[in-house]
Amino acid sequence: MSKSLREKKKTKDSFITVRISSAEKDIYLNEAENLGMGLSEFVLYLLRHRKINVIEGGSEIAHAMYNLNDTLNKCARYPQIPVQNINRSISENLNRINNFLNDAGEKC
């Protein structure tokens, strides 16, 4: 008698091999244990439920923000330039962008 399709889907007969450090493995084992899960169950849960938001040009944006921050720090030496106001404005807008991206990721 052959197994039903549902039973075949439950059969775990394949492997995915990933190389990680001993320290990383210990972290994942502890996290799994804290949640009352085995390591395989924990990793499968993460693979199924975690979302990764990819921002095209993200590395260029990060590099530009680093350069902007560096320039603002240099400008802070000159009291006639309102660097604190510029920093505050940039921080507020970056927080808005971050919140938007987090909200968009939760809706996916």
Structure confidence at residue 1 (pLDDT): 47
More confident: 21 or 50:
21
Structure confidence at residue 50 (pLDDT): 77
What are the tokens at 3? 């197994």
Residue 13 has pLDDT above 90, yes or no: no
C-alpha span between 38 and 28 (Å, rounded): 10
Structure confidence at residue 98 (pLDDT): 74
pLDDT digit string, tens, across residues 29-86: 998 999 899 999 988 888 888 776 666 666 777 777 777 777 777 777 777 767 777 7
C-alpha span between 72 and 68 (Å, rounded): 6
Structure confidence at residue 91 (pLDDT): 78
Structure confidence at residue 2 (pLDDT): 55
Structure confidence at residue 6 (pLDDT): 59
Structure confidence at residue 92 (pLDDT): 79
What are the tokens at 51? 């979302």
Residue 108 has pLDDT above 80, yes or no: no
